[in-house]
Amino acid sequence: MRIGILTFHCAVNYGAVLQAYALQEFLRSLGHEVYVIDYRPDYLTESYRPFKLCFDSCSSILQRIKDFFRTCLVAFIRYKRNRTFNTFITNRLNLYKLDLYDKQNTFDAFVFGSDQIWNPRITKSIDNVFIGRFPAAYGKYRIAYATSIGSVKNLKDSDILSFEYIVKNFTAISVREQSLKFFFKEYYNEDVTVVLDPVLLAGVSIFEKIATKKKVDKPYLLLFQLDRNDSVSLYVEKIAQKMGLQLVEMISWSESIKNRKLKQSLSPEDFLGYFKGASYIITTSFHGTAFSILFRKNFNVISCDVRTDERALSLLQSLGLEKRMCSIDDIFTMSIEIDYSFVDSKLQNLRDSSIYYLTQAMIKNR
């Protein structure tokens, strides 16, 4: 089949671009002709501009001056990060500029997901493109794979009709979290499937092919956070010392002007390389958790954000690894070896059910 993927492929976020790449490559491995539809809404790209100045209406003139100068100082970091991500997106994703009004296009199916493409807090209300409500999708297979709304609490009463449209017009629906599965059942009496995130679906071999070679000579503990939490960073630094490991710290979102050791503009390929080469990993991120498992590392997930914790904990529980999540008070006591023969077996069962969903969706009667 000729398939177009619609997801947050242009976000400057490791999880976002790598899940898009994973789904693309996995569908290709099934023999399909696959493209990532190059849809870049302003609400998604605006937050990643190198020079983004936002003033709090209550802030003083002095604070606004400080904010202006800091914005100037971090602009180069943001520019460099954007450049590395754009290189990945251009070189690794098979992009396609689709006329959304072209009913005569030659696609057989559109796959929507993964990521939070149904989260109205991100999309500034439900985006019709991400629910398949555009002429180019009419009459095509419309398949949701591991889509998310972040939290059911994000939905307003006005969003209900949008999801009714999905139920009536999609060929198959799968979601990322149990709460959204329950939502579809409660409101529409629709049974939807919970599937693996694309990076776990695709498997480690897809990522080993593009991961850069090890750049640190000494054994190291890798810390990966989306937004840097200083308390976590300080505590993990002490853990690295106790374990006799060099600390390598990566972040995806926040910027630091003073800390030159902080890896904050890495390419997705380098991101993967650091995971592959680590002796131990500590993360606060869902995708940090996923890649720790894929590369079969000993790791811990630090609990510090409820939304991230729910996703990561759900994954850990499904693999019998829930004890790997802990607080900064007890993390070091959890640094025992992981039995990956047990984990791999459970992960393969989940992967098999996700593959079954996708293959059945492709042959389902319209």
Residue 54 belongs to some domain of the structure: no
Q: How far apart are CA 347 and CA 204, in angstroms?
A: 12
* Residue 91 confidence (pLDDT) above 80: yes
- Here the tokens at position 289 are 């958790």
- Helix, strand, or coil (residue 198): helix
Chain-wide mean pLDDT for the chain? Answer: 90
Q: Are residues 38 and 176 in the same domain?
A: yes
Q: How far apart are CA 113 and CA 211, in angstroms?
A: 23
User: Whole-model pTM?
Assistant: 0.92
Percent of the chain with pLDDT over 70: 92
Predicted confidence band of residue 303 (pLDDT cuts 50, 70, 90): confident
Q: Are residues 16 and 138 in the same domain?
A: yes
Q: Which residue has the higher pLDDT, 53 or 59?
A: 59
Q: Are residues 117 and 243 in the same domain?
A: no
Residue 293 belongs to some domain of the structure: yes
Q: Are residues 161 and 255 in the same domain?
A: no
* pLDDT tens, position by position, 313-362: 889 999 999 999 988 877 776 668 999 999 999 999 999 999 999 999 98
Q: Are residues 179 and 250 in the same domain?
A: no
Residue 343 belongs to some domain of the structure: no
- The Cβ of residue 180 has, within 10 Å, a number of other Cβ atoms equal to 23
Residue 67 belongs to some domain of the structure: no
Q: Are residues 186 and 322 in the same domain?
A: no
Residue 83 belongs to some domain of the structure: no
Residue 331 belongs to some domain of the structure: yes
* Residue 166 confidence (pLDDT) above 60: yes
Q: Which residue has the higher pLDDT, 47 or 143?
A: 143
- Helix, strand, or coil (residue 230): helix
* Residue 43 confidence (pLDDT) above 50: yes
Q: Are residues 147 and 29 in the same domain?
A: yes
Q: Are residues 266 and 221 in the same domain?
A: yes
Structural domain including 148 reads 2-47+93-202+350-363
Q: Are residues 24 and 158 in the same domain?
A: yes
The CATH number for 104's domain is: 3.40.50.2000
Q: How many domains does the chain have?
A: 2
* Residue 8 confidence (pLDDT) above 70: yes
Residue 85 belongs to some domain of the structure: no
**Tell me, what's the pLDDT at 48?**
76
Q: Are residues 249 and 164 in the same domain?
A: no
- Here the tokens at position 66 are 């400080």
Q: Are residues 306 and 329 in the same domain?
A: yes
Ranges of beta strands (E only) in the chain are 2-6, 33-37, 95-96, 109-112, 141-147, 172-175, 193-194, 220-225, 246-251, 280-283, 299-302, 325-326
Q: Are residues 139 and 215 in the same domain?
A: no
Residue 55 belongs to some domain of the structure: no
- Helix, strand, or coil (residue 33): strand
